Copies of this chain bind each other. A is one copy, B any other.
Amino acid sequence: MNIGIASERAGLPPKTIRYYEDIGLLRPARTDNGYRDYSAADIHRLRFLQRARSLGFSVDECRQLLSLYHDRNRESADVKAIAEAKLAEIDRKIAELASLRHVMRHLIEHCSGDERPDCPIIDELAGEGMVQ
């Protein structure tokens, strides 16, 4: 199976698939003309990657998850630990964004948004603002 078809099946652009190969995440066969030749197992692996990436796992975490996936002796605790760390990270990011949102809302609410130059958003950034 050529890379174009593999791309459709896996839901990843060809460039990304080649990149994953570059960094050692998979190693498809080659046909006589030098084209990459993807097996069903390769597609499975690519879809695994696509799903894990879309869940916010870094490429390096995907590498770990893949090796756990292929490890017949893995303990589910190992996988759970990675997932829990990721959840904690998501929570941290949400909290940070929520706090940013709060400040932004506050600033926007107090800005008249008209043709006059006075602007509490600019004042705040300049350190003459209302927050603190």
Contact = CB atoms under 8 A, between A and B. Distances in A.
- Chain A binding site: helix, strand, loop or mixed by DSSP? helix
Nearest to A69: B122
Number of copies: 2
Interface string A108-122: 100111111111011
Contacts of A121: 76, 79-80, 83
A21 interface: no
Q: How large is the interface on A (under 10, 10 to 19, 20 to 34, 35 or more residues)?
A: 35 or more
Contacts of A119: 74, 76, 79-80
A56 interface: yes
Nearest to A119: B76
A12 to B, nearest CB: 14
